[in-house]
Chain A
Amino acid sequence: MIEVKGIEKSFGDTMVLKGISTVFDTGKTNLIIGQSGSGKTVLLKSLLGIHTPDKGTISFDGRIYSELTNDEKRDLRTEIGMVFQGSALFDSMTVEENIGFPLKMFTNKNPREIQERVDFVIDRVKLINAHKKKPSEISGGMQKRVAIARAIVNNPKYLFCDEPNSGLDPKTSIVIDNLIQEITEEYNITTVINTHDMNSVMEIGEKIIFLKEGILAWEGTKREIFKTDNEAIVDFVYSSNLFKKVRKAQNREL
């Protein structure tokens, strides 16, 4: 569980996060949604320790990040898996070297054990015929799978995904969303996903927090999102005609 208490973050005179407090539950896919510039990425980067909040605390299963020593912070980071928006795979390494990288750096496994674990994870994310290929030689969807495989190879407690569907077609997006949800449940991970893709919200939004101009404007589940009268979230969700129709249909059913 990750607990965020009253975090604030400014860049110069611009206050990007204005006292956000929430809890990201273990074993669930927690989604951060909001328009571009709402503070989603800054919140995610604050959770990852890339940005230091000006105020407030972030605790990982009771460990308050700002109170940890540098060594403890590095240890905590080995418990974190991250899927970056652009995958952030290492260009100079093959797919299996990319996936095995965290094991090579942080475990005492021998090369055979590393290879076994890498093969297992490659099977888990259903990557076919990609072991020896470089990231530039595989498709965007496959790169996302490699990024997910790399993120989970060292059995992380926390999984963060920044726009995991960006640049993917709708079908591949659903496959990636479902893969993240399956992994979250299977390994009982605390997963936090930063997205503005409403399809993801509908597919895997077990807990959703909605940011608007740096304020937590709404939180709930994918079922609750269609029932809420909160103006900010209604305005965001129903900016698409498709979802307006879905809401009408749901209201009729009720």
Chain B
Amino acid sequence: MLKEVFNKPTKWSAMKQLIFKEIDDLIIGSLGIVAFISFFVGGVVAIQTALNLTNPLIPKYLIGFATRQSVILEFAPTFISIIMAGKMGSFITSSIGTMRVTEQIDALEVMGINSLNYLVFPKVIALLLYPFVIGLSMFLGILGGWIAGVYGGFASSDEFMTGLQVEFNPFHVTYAFIKTVVFAILLATIPSFHGYYMKGGALEVGKASTTSFVWTSVAIILTNYILTQLLLTK
């Protein structure tokens, strides 16, 4: 399938429009839900950390430190990607699957268009912008943590900011974005595969969307484990 996606490209003028449409549907259309979830989960992480710091000898800046580490290392890249497997993945599978059952893919093929390139390639390119979504998630997650921590009376702004800077390892950000790029490829290809190769009618479109979500999530979790093992252990 992947070979065909990059084979026999669609005319550039048409492809350009498809890419912009996919950026709008997949990236811009996901910003709202990502912002909402990230902001409040960041806040919850800060509150949970604060509530568990019962020993007065443990410094308050750990709230900022824990929020930063949780959000950058796992929450933003991995858990937002699993949520996106539900949102973007279902959208991709159901839109391609519907085109399959209504013979629109056959129509493309009969016209002499490489349907895999026409349908999947713009999604892969659009998802190259996925790291920006995760970058936004990281920022808003930490902002949510700061607001919850400071305005909830769990730590001062200075303490939280100190925590954000303590033992900061820039490679953790690199690691998070390496994961993000790999997840973006999984998010574009696995749901496309399930939509493109589905058989049956409307009921099967729903089943294919569910199956695609399950397999994309499994692939993200396993890839996350492998990449963490490869990149963070010595």
Interface of A with B (CB < 8 Å)? Answer: 48-50, 73-78, 80, 82, 84-86, 88-92, 101-102, 104-106, 160
Contact B102 A88 (CB under 8 A): yes
The main secondary structure of chain A at its interface with chain B is mixed
Contact B103 A74 (CB under 8 A): no
> Assuming the A-B contacts A77-B112, A78-B112, A106-B112, are A88 and B11 also in contact, with contact meaning beta carbons closer than 8 angstroms in the complex?
no
The reply to whether A104 and B102 form a contact with Cβ atoms under 8 Å apart is no
Please pick, from A82, A90, A91, the residue contacting B110 in the complex, using a CB distance under 8 A.
Answer: A82
Given A104-B14, A105-B11, A105-B14: A86 touches B103 (CB 8 Å cut-off): yes
Nearest residue, chain A, Cβ from B114: A74
Check A50 against B106 for contact (C-beta < 8 Å).
yes
* A105-B10, A105-B11 given; A74·B106 CB < 8 A: no
Q: How far is the CB of B34 from chain A (nearest CB, A)?
A: 24
Contact B111 A88 (CB under 8 A): no
Residues of B within 8 A of A88 (CB): 102-104, 106-107
With a CB–CB cut-off of 8 A, which chain B residues contact A75?
A: 112
Most buried by A among B8, B109, B112: B112
Query: Which 8 interchain pairs have the tightest Cβ spacing?
Result: A77-B112, A88-B103, A88-B107, A74-B112, A82-B110, A84-B103, A78-B112, A88-B104
B221 within 8 A of A: no
Q: Is the interface of B mostly helix, strand, loop or mixed?
A: helix
A-B contact pairs, 28 of them (CB 8 A): A49-B110, A50-B106, A73-B112, A74-B8, A74-B112, A77-B110, A78-B111, A80-B110, A80-B111, A80-B112, A82-B107, A84-B106, A86-B102, A86-B103, A88-B103, A88-B106, A88-B107, A89-B104, A90-B104, A91-B102, A91-B104, A92-B21, A101-B111, A102-B111, A104-B11, A104-B14, A105-B11, A106-B112
| Given A50-B106, A89-B104, A106-B112, 4 new contacts (CB under 8 A) | A48-B110, A77-B109, A86-B102, A88-B103
In the complex, residue of chain A having the shortest beta-carbon distance to the beta carbon of B10: A105
Closest CB in chain B relative to A88 CB, distance in Å: 4
- Residues of B52-107 contacting chain A, CB below 8 A: 98-99, 102-104, 106-107
User: Smallest distance from the beta carbon of A222 to chain B beta carbons, Å?
Assistant: 27
Most-contacted residue by chain A among B99, B109, B111 (CB, 10 A): B111
Distance from A42 Cβ to chain B, minimum over Cβ atoms (Å): 14
Give chain B residues whose Cβ lies under 8 Å from the Cβ of A80: 110-112
In the assembled complex, the CB of A10 is this many whole angstroms from the nearest CB of chain B, namely: 19
Contacts of B110 in A (CB 8 A): 48-50, 77, 80, 82, 160
* Complex CA distance for A241 and B41, rounded to whole angstroms: 71
Of B21, B104, B110, B113, chain A has the most CB atoms within 10 Å of the CB of B110
**Beta-carbon contact of B106 and A105 below 8 Å:** no
Residues of B within 8 A of A50 (CB): 106, 109-110
In this complex, what residue of A is CB-closest to B101? Answer: A86
